[in-house]
Structure 1
Amino acid sequence: MGELTLESAFVDELIGACRATVGDELRSITYFTEEGVEQLYLRSDLEQTADLVGFADHERLGFRSQSAYRDTELGGYGATIRMFENGYLSRVIRDGHGVWVTTDDLSMERFEELSSVLASILDEADHTTDSDRSR
């Protein structure tokens, strides 16, 4: 599993949407698929110490577990929010690709807004990369 090469416009859209929605509470943004993972943003006061591959392996379980939540009284899957000692991880998955965003403390309304924005961007993405287009 390697690093992905994403279209710069897609990366810019994800970063811009997260910064607009979350503001200064944004810690990091990571995009992932079954094949790879790429950290798109890391706040300047943080160090790159996270095991992205390990996190991605765990978050990829969401690709398979989404079917378990189909047709429940809760409705369709929207997002996963995980609480940690020093922050939160929000994950949204759509059609074989996903994003997890780490943040400082946010209100539930902002988590919902972030999840909605990420879902829209992922739903509209065409999954092509700059390197795919140059072939």
Structure 2
Amino acid sequence: MGETVSDDLADQLVSTCRTTVGDELRSVTYFTEDDEEQLYLREDLESDADLVGFADNERLGFRSQTLYEETELGPYQFTMRVFDHGYLTRVIVGDRGAFVTTDAMEMDRFKELASALRSVLAEETDD
């Protein structure tokens, strides 16, 4: 993969998403405050998306997770963005995050996806 993420973590994230989402998975991107790396792009899609722009927008979540600490809503879990042709799900744990794009799916599958991503990102943070 690249310098942003270890090959092991990249493989775990993509494998987790493929297992949870299946054929509806469109892309997987890992990001930090300073960098981003697309780990997976479904082969029927073009690689012309503004990855840096998407990542810059999703980085706002680092500030949001701090803002939402100590609220009556409980801990931040994940963010979903809904589009005409699919969804973007963002999960942040500590100083790292991932966003995943998918085709339309049932809501429960997004919860499963976010929980699985959170587990993989948290394991890496503990190392």
Q: Does the TM-score normalized on the shorter chain lie above 0.5? A: yes
How far did 1:11 drift? 0.9
Instruction: Report the 3-state secondary structure (helix = DSSP H, G, I; strand = E; otherwise coil) of the residue aligned with 1:83.
Output: strand
Instruction: Report the 3-state secondary structure (helix = DSSP H, G, I; strand = E; otherwise coil) of the residue aligned with 1:60.
Output: helix
How far did 1:13 drift? 0.7
Counterpart position of 2:65? 66
Amino acid at match of 2:105: L
Which blocks of at least 5 consecutive residues in structure 1 are unaligned? 129-135
Question: Are the counterparts in 1 of residues 94 and 125 from structure 2 also a CA contact under 8 Å?
Answer: no
TM-score by length of 1: 0.88
Identity %, equivalent residues: 58
TM-score by length of 2: 0.93
Instruction: Report the 3-state secondary structure (helix = DSSP H, G, I; strand = E; otherwise coil) of the residue aligned with 2:76.
Output: coil
How far did 1:6 drift? 2.2
**RMSD (CA atoms):** 1.6
Farther off after superposition, 91-100 or 69-78: 69-78
Structure of larger gyration radius: 1
1:78-93 alignment, distance < 5 Å: 78-93=77-92
- Alignment of 1:7 with 2:6, yes or no, is yes
Q: What stretches of structure 1 move > 2 A for 4+ residues in a row?
A: 3-6
